[in-house]
Structure 1
Amino acid sequence: MPLIEFTDKGLYCRAGDFYIDPWRPVDKAVITHAHSDHARWGNKYYLCHHDTRPILQQRLGPNTYQDIAWNEPVYMNGVRITLFPAGHIIGSSQVRIESNGEIWVVSGDYKIENDGISGQFEPVKCHSFITESTFGLPIYNWKPQTEIYTDVQNWIRKNQEVSKTSVLIAYSLGKAQRLLHPIAEVTDKIFVHGAVYNIHMALVNAGWKLPAVQRVTPETSKEELKGAVVIAPSSAEGSPWLRRFAPYEIGICSGWMQVRGNARRKNADAGFALSDHADWNGLLQACRETEAECIYATHGFQAVFTRYLNEHGINAKEVKTEYGDDELEPAELKLEED
C-alpha cells in the first residue's frame, strides 16, 4: 500500500489517517496553503503553517486549527509530518510525510523564484513527489520578477502622467500582496477591492508589515483616484464596479499573460506575466532536485508534463485531482456594487 492514496476525498495517508488538501470534508486535514481549492470548509481539524492560520481563520471562520513552523515535525499515528517552504504565497508549504523509511512530498502549488514574502522554495528529497503542472508547457518561461515589477511601475507612471487610474487585476491572496512593495515605490495612493482588503487586514493583524492601502468604498471620490492604483480580483473584469475609476487603464497580472494576445482578448490595456506558480523550467528543476523515484503530476498540463519526464528518464504518472486554477478568483468573492 503506498503511503499516499488518491481517493475521492483527496490525498489520503492511511497510516496516519489524515488527508492533505482534501476536497471533501474529513476529520483531519493537512493544508499546504490557504487558496480555496486547497483549503476548504468543513474539516474537523486543520494542520497548517503559522502564516496560513490567520488567512484560514479569515476565510473559513472558527475551526480547530493547529499551526507549526517549517521544519517542525509533528506525528499522527506514528507518521512524521514536516512542512517546508513552497514559495507560492504567504504561508504556502510542501508537506513531507515519512513512515517506515518511505518518504513522500506533496508540493501543493509552488514557485522557484523567491518573491520576498512567501519563503524560498526548498527542494526536499523523497521517494515520491506530487507536483502541480499549472504551467507545464515550454512556452511558459517567466521573466525575472524585478523586470516584471519595472514594467508594472513604468505602466503606472505613464498613467499618472495623464491622471488615469491604474487598475491591476491580481488574485486577492498572493499576487495582491507581492505587488504592494513595488507599487509603493511609485505611489502611496493604493486602493484595493474589498476581497483584497480582507486578506490584507488579516495579515496586518497577524503582524505582517505591508504598505498601507485604502479600501474602495462608494464614498471614494474621483479626485482621490486620479493617478492612483487599484488592485482588484479577476471577478472585477468587465463589471460595473470599474466605472467609478474612469478614466482608467486595466493591467492583468497572471501567468496566462505569457501567451501573446491574451490581454487583448480580455480587453485589457496591459498584461504582466506575473505568476505564483513555477514555470516550465521551474517545474523540471523541482522534480529533478527531489531525486524522487516517481513523480505524480496533477492540475495543469499534466499529460504533456508527465510524457516529457518519462521521455527523459524520470518515472512520472498523471493524476486527476479537483485542484483548480488560482489565477482565477473563487466564486465566494463577490463584487461590491454601487
Structure 2
Amino acid sequence: MNVLQFTDNGIYCPAGDFYIDPWKPVKRAVITHAHSDHARWGNQYYLCENASVPLLRLRLGNDIQVQGIPYGETIYFNSVKVSLHPAGHIIGSAQVRVEQDGEVWVASGDYKLENDGLSAPFEPVRCHTFITESTFGLPIYRWAPQQQIFDGITQWIYENQQAGKASVLLAYSLGKAQRLLYHLKDKVDHFLAHGAIAIPHEVLLQEGWPLPPIERITPDTPKTAFKNAVIIAPPSAEDNAWMRRFQPYSLGVCSGWMQVRGNMRRRNADAGFVLSDHADWAGLLEAVAATGAEQVYATHGFSSVFARYLTEKGIAAKEVTTSYGDEDIITNPES
C-alpha cells in the first residue's frame, strides 16, 4: 500500500489529503521543521511540533494558520493517523509517522542521532517504509563526538584572543547557531551576532530556551567592540563588506562539509570545524536499521549512493528527487 506518494507538489498522503513538507503551495501541510527548504510560504494550513510554531511564524508570517502538537500525540486526517516524533535536527524538528489500515510510513525530514542538548533527541520509529534524508550519505562522512569539536572551537577562540584577533564563526542561523551558543556559553563571556542570527535567537529566548544573551551587530556598533570578540554569522556573510569591520579576525566554518579536505581552503577559512546537524554515514545506517523498515526511500543528498548500498544489504531502497537541501535562507539579513 502506498500510504505516501511523491508528487510534483511534494510528499502526499491521498487518504488523508495532506502533504509533508510540500515545495509548492497546498491546502494542508505537515511540516517536519522550520528550515526554509522544508517550511515554505503559501500553504493554507500548517501542522508542526509545538516548538516550531513561533519559528514558522517568524519565517512565514504571523498570519499563517498553524497548529502545534506535542511529540507523540496522534491526530487524524480522515482515517489516517498522524503523529510527530523527535528528529534531533534542530529545535522543534520532527519525523512524521503516518498510519493507514495498519501500514506505517515515516518521513524523517532532516535528522541527527547525537543529542545536541537543545533539540529533543532522535527517536527511532518502527515502520514498514522509511523516507530518509541522505545529506551525508557517503562513508567518508563520520563525525567526531561533539564535545571534542567544541573543545577544538574553544581552543581556537583562545588562540585568536592571544593573537589579538576576533573569532568569526559561520553557522546556519536557525539550529547550528543556537547549538554553538549553547555549548560555548560557559566558555565565552559575550557574543556578538549578525542580525540573521539575532532574530531567531531572540524568538527562542522569549520561548524560554536556555540560551545565552547576544548582542546584535548594527552599523552603530563601535569597532572597539570587535577586539578579541566571538562573532556568530550566517554563511551568506562570508566574503562581503559586512565582515571587513572585524579586522583583524580569524574565520571558522562550522559544517559537515569541512570533513572533506580542501573545502576549508575553498571557503578561504582559517579553520574548519566538522559540526553538522545531519546524521553521518554511520548515523544514517543506524537510523534505518532501528526503524525495521522493509522499504526505504532516500531523498536529498547522496541519495543514489545510499540507496544502492542499502539495496546491496538486502533492503528495498530507491532514490527519490525532492526540492530539499537549501536550508538557510536568511530572514532580514541586514545587520
Could you tell me how far apart the structure 2 residues matched to 1:121 and 1:152 are? 25
Q: Tell me the equivalent position of 1:282.
A: 283
Q: Tell me the equivalent position of 2:274.
A: 273
Q: Tell me the equivalent position of 2:47.
A: 47
**Residue identity in the other structure for 2:71:** W
Could you tell me how far apart the structure 1 residues matched to 2:326 and 2:55 are? 19
Could you tell me how far apart the structure 2 residues matched to 1:315 and 1:22 are? 25
Q: What CA deviation, in whole Å up to 9, does each residue of 1:294-314 have, x standing for no partner?
A: 000000000100110111111
Q: Are 1:305 and 2:303 matched, yes or no?
A: no
- Aligned-pair distance for 1:161? 1.0
Could you tell me how far apart the structure 2 residues matched to 1:188 and 1:241 are? 23
Could you tell me how far apart the structure 2 residues matched to 1:172 and 1:28 are? 27
Q: Tell me the equivalent position of 1:96.
A: 97
Q: Do the aligned partners of 1:157 and 1:186 also contact (CA within 8 Å) in 2?
A: no
- Aligned-pair distance for 1:334? 5.7
**Residue identity in the other structure for 1:12:** Y
Structure 1 residues 226-245: aligned runs within 5 Å: 226-245=227-246
Could you tell me how far apart the structure 1 residues matched to 2:266 and 2:48 are? 38
Q: Secondary structure at the match of 2:71?
A: coil
Q: Are 1:6 and 2:6 matched, yes or no?
A: yes
- Percent identity for Structure 1 against Structure 2: 60
**Residue identity in the other structure for 2:309:** Y
Segments of 5+ residues of structure 2 without an aligned counterpart are none
Q: Tell me the equivalent position of 1:133.
A: 134
- Aligned-pair distance for 1:260? 1.1
**Residue identity in the other structure for 2:70:** A
Q: What CA deviation, in whole Å up to 9, does each residue of 1:231-281 have, x standing for no partner?
A: 100101100000111110100000000011111111000000100000000
**Residue identity in the other structure for 2:19:** Y
Q: Tell me the equivalent position of 2:224.
A: 223
Q: What CA deviation, in whole Å up to 9, does each residue of 1:134-180 have, x standing for no partner?
A: 00000000000000000000000111112211000000001100001
Q: Are 1:296 and 2:294 matched, yes or no?
A: no
Q: Do the aligned partners of 2:20 and 2:32 also contact (CA within 8 Å) in 1?
A: yes
Q: Are 1:163 and 2:164 matched, yes or no?
A: yes
Q: Do the aligned partners of 1:53 and 1:67 also contact (CA within 8 Å) in 2?
A: yes
Could you tell me how far apart the structure 1 residues matched to 2:202 and 2:267 are? 30
The two structures have a TM-score, normalised by structure 2, of 0.98
Tell me: CA distance 1:281–1:315, structure 2 relative to 1, closer, same or farther (3 Å).
same
**Residue identity in the other structure for 1:177:** Q
Structure 1 residues 1-338: aligned runs within 5 Å: 2-61=2-61, 62-326=63-327, 329-330=328-329, 332-333=330-331, 335-336=333-334
- Aligned-pair distance for 1:282? 0.2
RMSD after superposition: 1.0
Segments of 5+ residues of structure 1 without an aligned counterpart are none
Q: Do the aligned partners of 1:83 and 1:94 also contact (CA within 8 Å) in 2?
A: yes
Q: Secondary structure at the match of 2:245?
A: helix
Could you tell me how far apart the structure 2 residues matched to 1:207 and 1:297 are? 35
**Residue identity in the other structure for 1:174:** G
